[in-house]
Amino acid sequence: MHHDNHTHNLLEQLVTEQKSLWRIKNMYGKDAGDCEKCREFWEKMKKDKEEHIAELTDLVKSHL
């Protein structure tokens, strides 16, 4: 199936966000160690990424 560039961009960004979320969940938060301020930042970033992924998923579905 051929997708236009607009749909391709949405799919690419969805993949990028998912990869980033995986790194935040599995690496960055742990690597922050005892730094409470950084762990809080990564937790906030994780929530932001989850929201972006949900929104992008809905957008992609509307174009397929």
Segments making up each domain of the chain, as ranges: 13-63
Q: What is the pTM of this model?
A: 0.86
Q: pLDDT tens digits, residue range 4-50?
A: 899 999 999 999 999 999 999 999 999 999 999 999 999 999 999 99
Look at the alpha carbons of 1, 11, 56, 24 in this order and tell me if their dihedral is positive or negative. Answer: positive
List b or e across 40-51, with b for residues whose CB sees 16 or more CB atoms inside 10 angstroms.
eebeeebeebee
